[in-house]
Structure 1
Amino acid sequence: MHQLTLEWASANQNLSQTISLQQSTRVPGSIRIGRDATLCDVVLNHPDPNIEKTVSGLHIEIFFNPDAQSFYLRNLTRDRQPPKQPNPAVVDGKKIVTEEVPLHIGSQIQLGRMALTVKAIDAKTDTSKEPQYMRVCANPRSPHYHPLEYNKFNCEVCGYVMLGATLIYPS
């Protein structure tokens, strides 16, 4: 499962949210962040309106790049037309306007005057859905599967002789 945990402060509260690409989002495959609840999956509010209004209604999106096996950030204010100007995100001290940047545990994200920190990332691929080799017994009614390291001649469940390795596709 691919998920990322963000943490930020709002007034006297530390808030955090774990986002997962498996959850239902406004745009499948990405998490949108800003201050407009109708456009964003993660809404940033602050009791001080002077701080809150520095965050765009739809500011950034975070998505998983399967080729790099990493989460990336994209600034969604980059295509604003005049008189509006792009509102750059700042990631680890670098202004992000048009590029997409990878995120890491500890990455600091600045949206206006609000700061977020990447606290955790789980980008492991679920290998339970991949086929794997196992040893199988010769029981014609209900064969039993054992790990490749199983080195007995007979199945310890039913007593049938053990066959060689076979490729098993999970359902």
Structure 2
Amino acid sequence: MNRLTLEWVEHEQRKSFTVTDQMLTKQVGRVRLGRDPSRCDLVLSHPTVSGLHVELFYDPLRSAFYVHSLRPSNPPLLNHRPVLEEEQPLTEGDRLCLGLVEIHIGTIVLETVAPTIVTTPVVEHSGDTTLPLKPSKPTAPSAYGLKCPRCGQVSSYDYLKSGCPWCGASLAAANSVLMERT
């Protein structure tokens, strides 16, 4: 499981919150931060924080956590630079400011997948060197798609940035699946 830890001070108390790529949230695959408890997974009470300020998510294709601004009129600052239209990657030690609340990006733990080892099979020859009469049919190449974490529909990678064409959910945290041949 991929996770990142947020640390900040609120009402003179140190607080922390761990974000994972598999946690149940109000928006599938995204952790929303802001003042509004009905729309946010992490509620910050400071009046300079917007009701729905930012969302954090893990992108499996880029193997990183990202921040995305949800409030253009009150953009967050990442290391003193505004996060405007494009999502920005988060790294350990970054400072994310929502209004006057400064959040420290603590530990980031990313799942690592063991490398694939390809071996060549050893073929024993029986001495017969004749070729088969009919070559086998080539198979159609396999195609992969993204399985929506909300509705389960599979769509092509073309929808990664625009979202699920059936329910509109973000496909940033979608699993890659083998698409059925038609």
Normalising by structure 2, report the TM-score: 0.61
Corresponding residue for residue 50 of structure 2? 56
**Separation (CA, whole Å) in 2 of partners of 1:88 and 1:18:** 22
1-structure distance, mates of 2:20, 2:37: 18
1: CA distance, partners of 2:107 / 2:48: 26
Pairing 1:114–2:101 present = yes
Question: Identity over aligned residues, as a percent?
Answer: 36
1:12–1:30 Cα change, 3 Å: same
> Residues of 2 paired with 1:36 and 1:9: CA distance?
19
1:38-82: CA deviation from partner (whole Å, max 9, x where unpaired): 00001112xxxxxx111000000001111210000000113xxxx
The CA distance in 1 between the partners of 2:117 and 2:109, in whole Å, is 22
1:119 and 1:111 map into 2 onto residues whose CA distance is 16
In the aligned structure 2, how far is the partner of 1:66 from the partner of 1:98?
21
Matched with 1:43 is 43
TM-score (norm 1): 0.64
Matches within 5 A, 1:42-121: 42-45=42-45, 52-78=46-72, 86-121=73-108
Q: Which amino acid aligns with 1:120?
A: T
Structure 1: runs of 5+ lacking an equivalent: 46-51, 79-85, 134-171
Gaps of 5+ in 2: 120-182
Q: Superposition RMSD on alpha carbons, in Å?
A: 1.9
Over 3 Å counting, the alpha-carbon distance change for 1:35 and 1:126 in structure 2 is: farther
Which stretches of structure 1, 4 residues or longer, exceed 3 Å deviation after superposition?
130-133
Which has the larger strand fraction? 1
**How has the CA–CA distance of structure 1 residues 99 and 11 changed in structure 2, closer, same or farther, with 3 Å as cutoff?**
same
- Whose radius of gyration is greater, 1 or 2? 1
